[in-house]
Homo-oligomer: A and B are copies of this chain.
Amino acid sequence: MNSSIEIGVGEKMKVAVAAMLTASHPVISVNGNICSLVPEELVELSEITNAPLEINLFYYRKEREDAILKALDDAGAKEVLGTHDRPSTTIPELSSNRRKVDPDGIGLADLVLVPLEDGDRTEALSKIGKFVITIDLNPISRTAVYSNITIVDNVIRTMPLMVQYAREMSNLSRDELKDIVDGFDNLTNIRNALNLMIENLSSKASLSLEELKEGKK
């Protein structure tokens, strides 16, 4: 195993990248939020992990699709799936517009990275057997508990690190990558996030009013 790949602080992100690199058909689901926050990182991660970008909107409007497409194009995207001029199929379990998916994208995917979306989508994808990776600040949201890998963190911090790890890890062997994924347990991961929150709150509960006013950690 490449000794430069330490599973520590960025553990979940590295596991997520390893899962993307070993998937047969990984796909990155893109909505307006994630696209406006980290368009370049979406395109870079898509290229390094060979995971097509697919636009999926909860409230579809042609103008929104166009705006997202333009942002991805400006960030250097060569191909974007899920647009209105593409073929579409539906996935069960979802009643909103987002049941429509691209047959060459999420329709075919064995793994979907769903950054910054709602719980409906994660639950539906999980129920039809997709391996789902999400990024969510809340470790016990529906998104978080229905995912295979939940990165409990801010997308602004997460996505650039995932790009960096994807670069570093792309020369690892398939076995090395699989070991990283197999060693991961999402319930333990969620509990670790909860325990970190408990630790922080406990330390706040020991501060004086003056220390709280100063914003002491």
Closest to A144 in B: B212
Which segment, of A20-28, A62-70, A73-81, A198-206, faces chain B?
Answer: A198-206
- The answer to whether A194 touches B187 (Cβ under 8 A) is no
- The answer to whether A201 touches B212 (Cβ under 8 A) is no
Shortest CB–CB separation between residue A213 and chain B, in angstroms?
A: 5
Interface presence of A190 (CB below 8 A): yes
* Cα separation A78 to B146 with both chains bound (whole Å): 52
Residues of B within 8 A of A195 (CB): 205
Closest to A195 in B: B205
Q: How many residues of A contact B (CB 8 A)?
A: 20
- The answer to whether B197 touches A209 (Cβ under 8 A) is no
Interface presence of A48 (CB below 8 A): no
- The answer to whether A209 touches B191 (Cβ under 8 A) is no
- The answer to whether B212 touches A140 (Cβ under 8 A) is yes
How often does this chain occur in the complex, in copies? 2
Residues of B within 8 A of A213 (CB): 142, 145-146
Interface residues of A in 180-216 (CB under 8 A from B): 186-187, 190-191, 194-195, 197-198, 201-202, 204-205, 208-209, 212-213
* Cα separation A4 to B96 with both chains bound (whole Å): 50
- The answer to whether A187 touches B208 (Cβ under 8 A) is yes
Among A146, A194, A195, A197: residue with most chain B CB under 10 A: A194
* Cα separation A212 to B189 with both chains bound (whole Å): 13
- The answer to whether B198 touches A212 (Cβ under 8 A) is no
Shortest CB–CB separation between residue A95 and chain B, in angstroms?
A: 19
Which of B197, B202, B205, B209 has a CB less than 8 Å from the CB of A186? B209
Instruction: Provide a sorted-by-A list of 19 A–B residue pairs whose CB atoms are within 8 angstroms.
Output: A140-B204, A140-B212, A142-B213, A145-B209, A145-B212, A186-B209, A187-B208, A187-B209, A190-B212, A191-B205, A194-B201, A194-B202, A194-B205, A195-B205, A198-B198, A198-B201, A198-B202, A198-B205, A201-B201
8 interchain residue pairs of minimum CB distance: A145-B212, A194-B205, A191-B205, A187-B209, A198-B201, A194-B201, A145-B213, A198-B198
